[in-house]
Structure 1
C-alpha cells in the first residue's frame, strides 16, 4: 500500500512538472485571469497574497514560472530554467 502511494505521488508531481515548459510560458499574457493561468499550468506550488496582490510559483527552485496578479489578473511573469 505504501509503495502505491509513493508511485501515485510521483506520477502527480511529474504530471504537474510537465506543464512547466516554454510552450505554456509563451502562452501567458498580461491581463489573463488567475483561473486561466491555473488551467494552463495546474495548481501552483505556492502563492503569497498581500494587499490585493498575489504572487504564485509553479514548479521548483530549478525550473519554475512565477506570475504576479493584481485583482486576479496577470501583471508580470517570469521563468527560470525552461
Structure 2
C-alpha cells in the first residue's frame, strides 16, 4: 500500500471517529434549546424540511442519526437511533 493511500485511509478513519452524532451530544439536547445551539453542538444538519413554522432536521445516516423537531427556532422533540 502506498504512503498516500495509507494517509488517506487514516484520515477517513479519524474523521469517522470524530462524528458529532453520538450518545454524548444527544444527552446535551433539551426541549426549548435554540436551533443555533443545536447546530453549534451537532454541526450542519444532513437534511431539513418543514412548513408553517414547524421543521425537522436530521444529522447522520439511516443507521445512526439524531432527529430534532422545531417550533420556530426552538426544540420541541428530539430522538436518536444507533448512537454510540
Question: TM-score band (shorter)?
Answer: 0.7 to 0.9
Structure number with greater Rg is 2
Which structure 1 segments of 5+ residues have no match?
A: 1-6
Q: Give secondary structure in 2 for the equivalent of 1:38.
A: helix
The TM-score with structure 2 as length reference comes to 0.78
Alignment of structure 1 residues 1-20 onto 2, 5 Å: 14=15, 18-20=19-21
Q: Structure 1 length as normaliser, TM-score?
A: 0.80
Partners of 1:71 and 1:45 in 2: CA distance: 19
Number of the residue aligned with 2:44: 43
Q: Name stretches of at least 5 consecutive residues in structure 2 with no aligned partner.
A: 1-7
The residue aligned with 2:64 is 63
**In structure 1, how many angstroms separate the alpha carbons of the residues matched to 2:51 and 2:26?**
24
2:4 corresponds to which residue?
none
Structure 1 stretches of 4+ moved >3 Å: none
Superposed CA RMSD in Å reads: 2.0
